[in-house]
Amino acid sequence: MQMPPPNETTLSQRADIAAGLGAIVGEAHVMADDASLKAFESDGLSAYRQTPMLVVLPGDTQEVSRVLAYCAKHDVKVVPRGAGTGLSGGALPLADGVTLGLGRFNRIFEIDYANRSAVVQPGVANLAISQAMDSAGFYYAPDPSSQIACSIGGNVAENSGGVHSLKYGLTTNNLLGVEMVLMDGEVIRVGGKQFDSDGYDFLGLITGSEGMLGVITEVTVRILPKPPNARALLMGFASNDDAGRCVAGIIAAGIIPAGLELMDRPAIHAVEEFCHAGYPLDAEAILICELDGPEVEVEELARRVGDIAATCGATSSRVSEDEAERQRFWLGRKSAFPAAGRIAPDYYVMDGTIPRGRLSEVLNRISELSEEYDLKVANVFHAGDGNLHPLILFDANIPGELERTEKMGGEILKLCVAVGGVLTGEHGVGVEKRDLMGEMFSETDLKQQQRVKCAFDAGQLLNPGKVFPTLHRCAELGRMHVHGGEMPFPDLPRF
């Protein structure tokens, strides 16, 4: 992975920069020693590592503003960082960059039940938001599996999803407003507690922008009343194909479950060994389908889903009888990543999205790839919305195996694009999928996206080297190359 070459001038000024930042945030909140810096060298994608030049931990918006203004003035690159659980290297440090950690932004400012919203700092963990309002019967819907640890600011930057996104949407559908600081230090607020705002949708644009447009310093989220009942169905199938048809059947019947997850045989066996969730070991694939809402609705839908599963040849089907059983059904799914970690020294999480209908075709091709590359794969799949997480199992200590894994991962993602899907459903492009962007986008498409980046950060100092395979200077991108000038298609009618 090629990163922009470090700026030697910046590196030579490291001590001055540390002092300059220390004057803003207090010396205690600037880290410059190797041992401290080491803790920041990677995010959740640990295959990529880089020690940052410095780490700075500002304490409030004003400090963020001054840090960014200082860095802009001295031409220093900045990498924002939340909890560092990202899986695409979005928070991967730069050798000549300052990693700006939001760890001290850990307060929940306000829970406004009358407006069904909450105002929090970006460093607050996703789950902590729901916990803070649990006793009042409310929650924040997007629930990434990393929700104990990942920060809401990171969720906004990645537009994270969770197993309940099928019904309740991704981060972007559950946000009302943010405060953020641009690279020049300017503080802007977009949105608020209202549903919609006029003007360009900066809120939507910032969500999923991977820390490249600004540093988010406050987040207003929408909160929802907790559904009164929830039940999960655990269904086993003799083939991926049957499970895939069941998914299509549920959607075709007009049912949007709260969650609809698929796991294939290797994944089932890995998690059974890990946590004994009670999954059927004879199944080629299982589906977990969660239904929530009023009692009558949950009961009726559970019956309908059970019927659909039967017509698709389900080999087993069970509705959770109580909350403990529902939790147990989910336990396996939620442990999929650590379970993979147990059966192999290393695992690599992929994150493509495909049209639901292409599921079994894609899974078949993945198992062919698995043989070609001689690497085992376990598949977990947000089947309801087509988001596939193949886990490639490997051993980084075997020379060449990481490279082979990455190559195979690239093949899987290209396959996703080829069947009409996309490179990443929720984990982001980061550095990981940067060089694959050309699979989905033309040079023209990418340049327009980069111009958006330039509108926010003309010096390209904020998280550079991520998302875009080629860096272009903003001045060059801004130029227009239009020929013509002839009155177009003069033979066409004009009125």
Partner 1 sequence: MAQTLKPGTVDELVQAVEWAVSGTHPLELVGGGSKRALGRPVQAEMTLDLSAFSGITEYQPEELQLTAGAATPLAEIEAALSDKNQMLAFEPADYSALLGSKAEATLGGVLACNLSGPRRIKAGAARDHLLGFHAVSGRAEDFKAGGKVVKNVTGYDLCKLLTGSWGTLAAMHEVSLKVLPAPELTRTVLIMGLDDARAVAAMGEALASAHDVSAAAHLPAALAARSAVPYVNEAGTAVTALRVEGIGPSVEARCRDLRNMFAPLGDGEELHRMYSRQFWQEIRDAAPFAGDARALWRISLPPAEGAKLVAALGQSLIAEAYYDWAGGLVWLALAAGEDASADSVHAAVAAHGGHATLLRAPADVRAAVAVFMPQAPAVAALTKRLKESFDPAGVLNSGRMYPGV
Ligand X SMILES: Cc1cc2nc3c(=O)[nH]c(=O)nc-3n(C[C@H](O)[C@H](O)[C@H](O)COP(=O)(O)OP(=O)(O)OC[C@H]3O[C@@H](n4cnc5c(N)ncnc54)[C@H](O)[C@@H]3O)c2cc1C
Q: Where do contacts with ligand X occur on this chain (CB under 6 A)?
A: 43-44, 79-87, 90-91, 102, 122, 144-146, 150-151, 153-155, 157-158, 160-162, 210-211, 215-216, 337, 426-427, 463
Counting Cα atoms < 13 Å in the Cβ hemisphere of 38 gives: 3
Binding partner of 421, given ligand X, partner 1, none, CB within 5-8 angstroms per partner class: partner 1
CA distance 158 to 427: 6
In contact, 50 and 95? CB cutoff 8 Å = yes
Residue 10 binds: one of partner 1, ligand X, none (C-beta under 5 to 8 A by kind): none
Between 317 and 424, whose beta carbon lies closer to ligand X?
424
Nearer to partner 1 (CB atom), residue 6 or residue 357: 357
113: contact with partner 1 by CB under 8 A? yes
Binds partner 1 (CB under 8 A): choice among 108, 205, 343, 344: 205
The secondary structure of 233-266, three-state, reads EEEEECCHHHHHHHHHHHHHCCCCCCEEEEEEHH
Q: Which residues, listed in sequence order, are joined to residue 288 by a DSSP beta bridge? A: 234, 261
Nearer to ligand X, 264 or 432 (CB): 432
Q: Which stretch binds partner 1 (CB under 8 A): 62-70, 139-147, 257-265, 428-436?
A: 428-436
Comparing CB distances to ligand X, the nearer of 24 and 308 is 24
Per CB under 8 A, the list member of 197, 315, 360, 367 interacting with partner 1 is 197
208 binds, among ligand X, partner 1, none (CB under 5 to 8 A by kind): partner 1
Neighbours of 338 (CB within 10 A): 14
Distance separating alpha carbons of residues 414 and 100, to the nearest angstrom: 33
Those residues with Cβ within 8 angstroms of residue 40's Cβ, 6 or more apart along the chain or in another chain: 31, 51, 52, 55, 81, 84, 93, 99, 101
The beta strand positions in 37-154, using DSSP E, are: 54-56, 77-81, 97-101, 108-112, 117-120, 138-139
CB atoms within 10 A of CB 169: 16
Q: Does 61 bind partner 1 (CB under 8 A)?
A: no
Q: Which helix (H) or strand (E) holds 232?
A: strand 229-237
Mapped to the 3 state alphabet, what secondary structure does 418-433 carry?
Answer: HCCCECCCCCCCCCCC
Residue with tokens 């109580």: 322
Residue 465 contact, options ligand X, partner 1, none, Cβ 5-8 Å cut-off depending on partner type: none
Provide the minimum distance between the beta carbon of 283 and partner 1 in the complex, in angstroms, as a whole number: 23
> Residues 233-262: x/- map of binding to partner 1 (CB under 8 A)?
---------------x--xx-xxx------
Task: Name the H helices within 238-393.
Answer: 240-252, 265-275, 295-311, 323-334, 336-343, 359-373
* Residue closer to partner 1, measured from CB, 202 or 394: 202
438: contact with partner 1 by CB under 8 A = no
Q: Which of ligand X, partner 1, none does 9 bind, CB closer than 5 to 8 A by kind?
A: none
Query: Contacting partner 1 (CB under 8 A), which of 29, 382, 389, 466?
Result: 382
Helix axes 359-373, 240-252, angle to 10 degrees: 150
Instruction: Work out which of 38, 73, 342, 451 binds partner 1, going by CB under 8 A.
Output: 451
Residue 300 binding partner per list partner 1, ligand X, none, with a CB distance cut-off of 5 to 8 Å that depends on partner kind: partner 1
The residues facing 178 across adjacent strands are 190, 219
Q: What angle do CA 447, 453, 458 make, to 5 degrees?
A: 110
Count interface residues toward partner 1 (CB under 8 A): 106
Q: Which of residues 357-376 bind partner 1 (CB under 8 A)?
A: 357
The answer to whether residue 190 forms part of the interface with partner 1 (CB under 8 A) is yes
165 binds partner 1 (CB under 8 A): yes
